[in-house]
Amino acid sequence: SRRGRVGRGDGKGDQTTTATTTTTTTTTTTVATPTTYPTYTPTETWPDCPPPYNNHTTYAAGDISEVHEHIFQCDEELVHWCNIYEWDEENEDLDPSDKQLWKDAWVHL
C-alpha cells in the first residue's frame, strides 16, 4: 500500500489518496504423459520348450525334458536312472543305496 497527498501544494484542496497494488501468482503444474506405451521387441527368439517328461519314453544321455515348467537334462553317466520314472521302495530290483543316483540323474538347467 502507498499513501500520499495529491493537491496544489499550498494545503488548500489537498486530497489524501491511497493506492493498493495486488499481485496474483498462478502456479501451473505440467504432467508429462507418454504418447505411446513402450513395447518389447526381442532381438532373438526363445528356443522351443522341450517335451514334457514321459514315462513311456526311453531317454539317452543329454536328452532334455520339462517337468512343471522346469527344464532338466539327463546326465550322461546316470542314463540308466533317467529311465526310472518313480522310485519304488518295494521294488526289489532297486537298491536303496542307489536312490541318490536316481535323484541326480536329471540335472536342473
Cell of 5: 497527498
pLDDT tens-digit profile of 51-60? 999 999 999 9
Confidence of residue 1 (pLDDT cuts 50, 70, 90): very low
Q: What is the dihedral of CA 68, 70, 74, 80, to 10 degrees?
A: -30
Confidence of residue 12 (pLDDT cuts 50, 70, 90): low
Identify which of 8-17, 27-36, 52-61 has the greatest average pLDDT. Answer: 52-61
Q: Is 53 exposed, middle or buried (0-12, 13-18, 19+ CB in 10 A)?
A: middle
pLDDT tens-digit profile of 85-98? 999 888 888 888 89
